[in-house]
Amino acid sequence: MKEILLAGYKWLLLGLLLMGGFPGLAQIDSAWSRIATDTSQNKVVQDAIYNRPFIQLGKTTTAVGGYLEGNTNYFVTDGISEGYSMELRRFNIFLYSTIARRIKFLSELEFEHGTKEIGLETAQLDFEINPAFNLRMGILVVPIGAFNQNHDSPKWEFIERPLVTTNLIPSTLSEVGFGIHGKVYAPQKVFTYDVYLVNGLQDGLILNAEGRTSLPAGKDPSMFGQDNNGRPMLSAKLAFRHRKLGEVGISYYGGAYNAYKIDGMPVTSKKNLALYALDFNTTLGRAVVNGEFAHARLQLPPALGPAFGNRQTGGYLEVVYTVLQKTLLDYPKTALNANLRIEMVDYNVGRLSETGTRRHDDIRAIVPGLSIRPSANTVIRANYRYHWTRDLLGNPPARTGGFQVGFASYF
């Protein structure tokens, strides 16, 4: 009961915040104009961060936008349930402005679970020399895989992000850095590239509270201020999009992750991380297919113990099938989608040296669901979720099943 009340209270607060913080939205100020974008449309992943609806602030060159995402959970693990809970996952605000003709600024502030975690997800400056050559600097969303750059919840039909993008690729991975990106067009085709130097991940990758190699645990806010080892990591992506066939991207992210020097004195040898990802999306008739696969390799200190793997791998594949599209209430093109995602992450690829048997420590999941989009920028979704979690030794898995209902919308 207490949880339900607390959750209700959180939602109320959020409503007040929205109304108080954005009187313009509540009152409809005619000086503000909405820059329409159909976020469900297929565009190159590279442009995802700009492919969002914004509201222009009067006659200024600045526009604001954002999204809100919430859901309910009911899960049972091996017959035991924590009951119902509701969460307000994210409330994000973007600020976008065209400072001058070729200079764009974008920032994104994220409130996770109310005000529990607040983060500056993006604060970047783009300087266009020509479409094939742009400079970017600031806090940027690293182009590893497709989801990380295109992670706005209203664009997705499932409540949970794909496991490979949260537990292997640590989305949202945004870092301080600089680099170049661009697009080269050909008839029916676009090539995009991105190359950045960023501060990178740090020692928390290992010997962390997860008790396993964990890229998410390697993130640290202090890295916005200073690199831990004076050696930036490299992030690079190449993607190819064909208007009819869809898009495929390959990306790399890596470099030295450990602080191997203290006050300039080497204390240990340099340890590298290399993360590779392959992503694709395509449209087959009424179905949109998305997928992403990632593989990480790390150099580890000697004798960390079997719980810390030097290889991780994972991926997901999902199909979003538009069952029907018709007028519902006042929405002319309401879409109803049937969705299915299958996914897995193996946190520890390899064998146990003592017994030669496989190291497990993995999770597999299957997620069928339904979603309704009254407008391209809003999604109401429900999914069932079943996952199997195995420990390092591969003992009988813990099985979890449950339902989630939620919404996500740009505003």
Partner 1 sequence: MDKTRLLAMALSLGLFLAVVACESLFPDNIEPEKLLGEPILELTPEQQQSHAKGDTEFGRVFGVVDGLGPIFVSTSCESCHIGDGKGHPSTSLTRFNRQDGLDFDPMISVGASQLQHRAITGYTPETLPTDIKGSTRLTPPAVGGLGYLAAVSDADILAMADPHDLNGDGISGVPNYFPAPDFFEPEKFHLPDAAGRYIGRFGKKAGAIDLLQQVANAYLLDMGITSEFLRTDLYNEQLGNHTGDNIPDPEVPGSVVRNVVLYMRTLKVPPRRNARQPEVLAGEQLFIQLGCAKCHVPTLKTGLSDIAALSIQTFHPYTDLLLHDMGPALDDNYTEGSARTSEWRTAPLWGLGLAAEAQGRQVFYLHDGRARTLPEAIQYHGGEAANSRIKFTALPTPNQKELLSFLQSL
SS (H, E, C) the chain: CHHHHHHHHHHHHHHHHHHHHCHHHHHCCCCCEEECCCCCCCCCHHHCCCCCCEEECCCCCEEEEEEEEEEEEEEEECCEEEEEEEEEEEEEEEEEEEEECCEEEEEEEEEECCCCEEEEEEEEEEEEEECCEEEEEEEEECCCCCCCCCCCHHHCCCCCCCHHHHHHCCCCCEEEEEEEEEEEEECCEEEEEEEEEECCCCHHHCCCCCCCCCCHHHCCHHHHCCCCCCCCEEEEEEEEEECCCEEEEEEEEEEECCCCEECCEECCCCCEEEEEEEEEEEEECCEEEEEEEEEEEECCCCCCCCCCCCEEEEEEEEEEEEEEEEEECCEEEEEEEEEEEEEEEECCCCECCCCCCECCCEEEEEEEEEEEEEECCEEEEEEEEEEEEECCCCCCCEEEEEEEEEEEEEC
- Footprint of partner 1 on 232-291 (CB under 8 A): 258-260, 262, 267-268, 286-287
Q: Tokens standing for 47? A: 């442009």
Task: Select the residue interacting with partner 1 from 119, 216, 246, 401 (CB under 8 A).
Answer: 401
36 vs 209 by CB, closer to partner 1 = 209
Q: Does 372 bind partner 1 (CB under 8 A)?
A: no
143 vs 204 by CB, closer to partner 1 = 204
Q: Tokens standing for 6? A: 């607390």
- Footprint of partner 1 on 122-181 (CB under 8 A): none
Beta bridge partners of 369: 339, 383
- Cβ pair 289, 42 in contact under 8 A: no
Q: Does 78 bind partner 1 (CB under 8 A)?
A: yes
Spatial distance between the Cα atoms of 366 and 389, rounded to a whole number of angstroms: 12
Q: Does 386 bind partner 1 (CB under 8 A)?
A: yes
Q: Does 392 bind partner 1 (CB under 8 A)?
A: yes
107 vs 322 by CB, closer to partner 1 = 322
24 vs 394 by CB, closer to partner 1 = 394
Q: Does 393 bind partner 1 (CB under 8 A)?
A: yes
Q: Among candidates 382, 407, 392, which has minimal Cα distance to 355?
A: 392
37 vs 85 by CB, closer to partner 1 = 85
Q: Does 204 bind partner 1 (CB under 8 A)?
A: yes
Span near partner 1 by CB under 8 A; candidates 106-114, 126-134, 291-299, 354-362: 354-362
Q: Does 360 bind partner 1 (CB under 8 A)?
A: yes
234 vs 352 by CB, closer to partner 1 = 352
> CA-CA distances (angstroms) from residue 80 to 4, 399, 402?
19, 10, 11
Task: Select the residue interacting with partner 1 from 135, 338, 344, 405 (CB under 8 A).
Answer: 338
Span near partner 1 by CB under 8 A; candidates 133-141, 170-178, 203-211, 327-335: 203-211
Output the smallest distance, CB 109 to partner 1, in A. 27
Output the smallest distance, CB 99 to partner 1, in A. 40
Output the smallest distance, CB 231 to partner 1, in A. 15
Q: Which amino acid is at 103?
A: I
Q: Does 20 bind partner 1 (CB under 8 A)?
A: no
Task: Select the residue interacting with partner 1 from 41, 226, 327, 355 (CB under 8 A).
Answer: 355
249 vs 291 by CB, closer to partner 1 = 291
The residue count for binding partner 1 (CB under 8 A) is 54
Q: Does 395 bind partner 1 (CB under 8 A)?
A: yes
- Cβ pair 140, 197 in contact under 8 A: no
211 vs 246 by CB, closer to partner 1 = 211
Per-residue interface string for the shown chain with partner 1, residues 297-326, x marking contact by CB under 8 A = ----xxxxxxx-----------x-x-xx--
Q: Does 76 bind partner 1 (CB under 8 A)?
A: yes
Task: Select the residue interacting with partner 1 from 77, 98, 107, 334 (CB under 8 A).
Answer: 77
- Give the interface with partner 1 as residue ranges (CB under 8 A): 76-81, 203-204, 207-211, 258-260, 262, 267-268, 286-287, 301-307, 319, 321, 323-324, 338, 340, 352-355, 357, 360, 366, 368, 384, 386, 391-396, 399-402
